[in-house]
Chains A and B, each alone.
Chain A
Amino acid sequence: MIQAQTEWDAPSGRRAAAELLTRYQQPVYQWCMRYAREHSAALDLAQDVLLKAYEKLQSFEQRSSFSSWLFVLTRNRCLNEQRRKKRFVDADVDFDGYDGGGTPPDEQLIDIESEEQLLELIRKTLNEQEQRALWMRCVERLSVDEITEALGIEDRSGARALLQRARRKLARAMD
């Protein structure tokens, strides 16, 4: 009637881990979709994240909730994959209507090695709201609607105009 173990790699621990991770498949997969933009690639990425999470379960100390810990792991894996494949943007992303001329700066952003360097660049170039919007869109891959809501923008064009303006400023700064 009872199964208990001290280690995640014991047979019952592995079953418990499988059940735990199964509960989080959906958010992990949907998050991977934001970066991969394609079902089978997102599936591969999500599987990789979930198995990596199992490997790291021994080090999960419950200093936060499991969902927060898994989110950070998923986010990190997606960003690394994005850098590795140099796919900051996909052909199906319309740069939210970017009309600044030339190539939008998004593809150059991926060449910036660290998040800290990117942060420094956008801080020097953009105002606070533009910084937030651009980071949410280009790094965290939130949708324009999600950004519009997060920033409380009531203008009809939502965050789209804000993103266009931020991209234009950034493109000029990176020239």
Chain B
Amino acid sequence: MSHPCPNFDDLPILLELEVDDPTRKDAESCPRCAAILEAHEAFIRAEPQPGSNPDEAMRKLSFALREALTPTAPMPATSEDADAVSTPSFNPLRWLMQPRFAMATAAVAVVLAATMWFSSGRDLVPIERSVKPSGTVNIESAALAASGSLIVRWTAHPRANEYQVAIYDASLETIAALEPVSGTEIEITPDYLPPLSAGLIYVRVRVLRDGDVIDISPPRAVQLR
């Protein structure tokens, strides 16, 4: 049997497929792909290996990353800043269960240009899997207003019927997607944003035509605090 193993660029997509996906099932019949699927699980588990020194490794790697990527930025001076680096991943489900979210829900339609729906993320991935950014749609600005709302503006796409803004956590996992809008700007009120403690989020704009995603913007980082 000759199984067509995915190439380097497509391998991450294989890892995202649901267990009952026919492509994944086919891949599991291949010793290489089946082993890589298991290896991916092991990578995520990140179990300490014999002889490892995770504490020192984390300290040195953090320092190296900051030195290499932010040479002009000083290391965090305060404990609050330092904590920001190691903030656990933002959990949208926990956030959604907060009372303030429930109270805000009834009123938000008045002030928000669009209603929103939320997702745990993984079900949004297939939409984007087949779409590469063409460079046509770009986020022009993503700025917090004095009110605390996040205002996102983007360039128009000639084939768009609608646009959909998606929000990602600091690990680039999808946490929310807004109801599609026809214009090229949206105001997202604070009640619909992750809490400031989430620190960093990313936004992207999906271009929709007849309900299909036909293009997507590169991600734009937004520091909430």
Task: Return chain A residues, CB-CB under 8 Å to B39.
Answer: 71, 75, 136, 140-142
Closest to A47 in B: B64
Assembled-state Cα–Cα distance A66/B11 (Å):
12
A63 with B57: CB separation less than 8 A: no
Q: Across the interface, do A132 and B72 meet the contact criterion of CB distance under 8 Å?
A: no
Stretch of B97-105, B109-117, B181-189, B215-223 contacting A (4+ beta carbons < 8 Å): B215-223
Q: Specify which of B16, B200, B218 is in contact with A64 (CB 8 Å cutoff).
A: B16
The residues of A that contact B122 with a CB separation of less than 8 Å are 65
A131 at the interface (CB under 8 A from B): yes
Q: Which of A21, A31, A37, A139 contacts B43 (CB 8 A)?
A: A31
Q: Which residues from B are CB-within-8-Å of A113?
A: none
Q: How far is the CA of A3 from the CA of B32 in the complex (A)?
A: 43
Known: A4-B221, A63-B130, A75-B39. 10 other contacts (CB 8 A): A4-B220, A19-B85, A20-B200, A22-B62, A27-B43, A29-B57, A63-B131, A65-B173, A66-B173, A68-B40
Question: B residues engaging A (CB < 8 A)?
Answer: 5, 8, 11-13, 15-16, 30-32, 34-36, 38-40, 42-49, 51-54, 56-58, 60-62, 64-66, 68-70, 72-73, 84-86, 89, 122, 125, 128-133, 138-139, 141-144, 168, 170-173, 199-200, 202, 204, 216, 218-223, 225
